[in-house]
Amino acid sequence: MRWEDLDKKYIWHPFTQMQTAENPLAITKGKGSLLFDKKGNTYIDAISSWWVNLHGHSHPYLAEKVNEQMLNLEHVVFAGCTHEPAAQLCSRLKKHLPKNQEKFFFSDNGSSAVEIAIKMVIQYWHNKGENRNRFLALNGAYHGDTFGAMSAGARGLFSTPFNNYLFEVTHLPFPTEKNVLDNLKTELEKGEIACFIFEPLVQGAAGMRMYSSEILDKMIALCHEYGVLCIADEVMTGFGRTGTTFAVNQLKNKPDLMCMSKGLTGGTLPMSITTCNQKIYNAFLSNDLTKAFLHGHSFTGNPVGCAVSLASLDLLEKQKCQDNIKRIIKSHQAFAEEIKNHPKIDNLRQTGTILAIELTDENSGYASDLRTRLYKHFLSEGILIRPLGNVIYILPPYCITECELSTVYSATKKALKL
Ligand SMILES: Cc1ncc(COP(=O)(O)O)c(C=O)c1O
């Protein structure tokens, strides 16, 4: 049997109505920004394969480091054992993080990193004997698909069957709306707030919705006045997407906890980390085991994941990669300038290497006809882009060439005529 038929026979794909879905692209190879399918088609990966890939597909340096680590130590239980790649990775990451981030807890996907941050917050207040059981998040938030992460996220299409099982979270107006600080203050005054969780500067799944560092700075400062812990979910924004290594590097006020995944391994292997400040960590220290954070996953701190994360940081820190990030930012700016007055564009926005083009179309949901038409259009132009409803966005690997970017821009201009 052809392997595509085996796929059809056995595989249940994510976010997919299997009854009506068309056959998935049968990808056989990736190189740089390109993906190749079994039929001989080539696609520019303009969305970094679910926002994970930083340096291009099948990068030889990353492959070499994976191979090296595999031959030395592929995995070991992380409770009671440790290894050098994990320790070195934390020490390297520390240099890129706000100074207050002191401790690192490993897991293996973005939702788990968020779940862990929420559990840490809940147990922090529990250990301290303070009754804080209310949570704040932003309208439109997406923090993942596990229950805690879903609870923090907006209620909607994805959460509907589960809404009755999610814990209550107060969703604040999106920070570009008026009176957001007054609203936040009202909630804080009601008391008992454990934490405020947010995607800093850019909400990914909501349609690459963007807001300023100034307002976020004020929101964090206000939360801190009330002793509320702040969680920055950098799962999507981390590792250079917003122009700085982390979005929170653009803030004066720092979060208490951070979640990272996706770009952590350069997009090669599943891994995530939740970091926190010393104050939170200290609240778990005791002679009493029940005060400890009794949480873990089989693949926590996987050495191969750590080794490839270190290798990805090697590449990210190189001048060449930093220049590429600046180049993409400039190219996006020039393209945005070129199309900004197009009548089909309702809103055009950019933060760092992320460019989002929101179309003026009423029929704009995740499952909308427009979204499907746009997706197919880009494929026919040899580009992989998965629009979020009526929002086309470009979030490329940093190695994308100017020529590949202009192909993506031309196809975007054609999409405006659809
Ligand atoms: C901001 C944010 N948080 C959490 C997640 C969940 O990450 P994962 O898909 O690895 O579980 C995502 C995924 O897109 C995300 O964008």
pLDDT digits (tens, 9 = 90+) for 81-90: 999 999 999 9
90 CA distance to ligand 1 centroid (A)?
21
- Domain(s) labelled CATH 3.90.1150.10 in the chain stretch across 3-58+319-415
**Inter-residue contact 268 to 308 (CB < 8 Å):** yes
**What is the best residue among 262, 271, 393 to mutate for testing ligand 1's pocket, by most ligand atoms within 8 Å of CB?**
262
- Domain(s) labelled CATH 3.40.640.10 in the chain stretch across 73-316
The string over 99-119, giving b where at least 16 C-beta atoms fall within 10 Å of a residue's C-beta and e elsewhere, is eebbbbbbbbbbbbbbbbbbb
Residue 39 has, within 13 A of its CA and on its CB side, a CA count of 8
111 Cβ closer than 6 Å to some ligand 1 atom: yes
Quote the mean pLDDT of the chain: 97
**pLDDT score of 369:** 86
198 Cβ closer than 6 Å to some ligand 1 atom: no
pLDDT of 124 higher than 90: yes
Average pLDDT score over residue span 202-230: 98
265 Cβ closer than 6 Å to some ligand 1 atom: no
Q: Which amino acid is at 195?
A: C
**pLDDT score of 340:** 96
Neighbours of 31 (CB within 10 A): 12
Tell me the pLDDT band of 391, cut-offs 50, 70 and 90: very high
User: What dotted CATH number matches 3-58+319-415?
Assistant: 3.90.1150.10
Distances (CA, A) of 275 to 171, 350, 386: 24, 27, 30
The three-state secondary structure class of 280 is helix
What are 213's two structure tokens? 């560092």
Beta strand spans in 199-269 (E): 202-203, 209-210, 229-233, 257-260
Closest ligand 1 atom to residue 270 Cα is 10
Measure the CA–CA gap between 269 and 109, rounded to whole angstroms. Answer: 10
Domain 73-316 is found in CATH 3.40.640.10: yes
pLDDT of 367 higher than 90: no
Closest ligand 1 atom to residue 204 Cα is 16
Nearest one of 59, 56, 58 to 46, comparing CA atoms = 56
**Inter-residue contact 115 to 144 (CB < 8 Å):** yes
Beta strand spans in 91-161 (E): 103-107, 134-138
199 Cβ closer than 6 Å to some ligand 1 atom: yes
Tell me the pLDDT band of 311, cut-offs 50, 70 and 90: very high
Instruction: Record the pTM.
Output: 0.98
Phi-psi region of 49 (alpha: psi -120 to 50; beta: other; left: phi over 0): left
Residue bearing the CA closest to ligand 1, atom 9? 110
143 CA distance to ligand 1 centroid (A)?
5
> In this predicted model, what pLDDT tens digit does every residue of 314-363 receive, in sequence order?
999 999 999 999 999 999 999 999 999 999 999 999 999 999 999 997 66
Alpha helices in 207-277 (DSSP H): 213-225
**pLDDT score of 361:** 75
Distances (CA, A) of 1 to 7, 9, 40: 10, 10, 20
**pLDDT score of 95:** 98
Measure the CA–CA gap between 359 and 412, rounded to whole angstroms. Answer: 11
Alpha helices in 142-275 (DSSP H): 147-152, 180-190, 213-225
Residue bearing the CA closest to ligand 1, atom 3? 143
**Inter-residue contact 76 to 413 (CB < 8 Å):** no
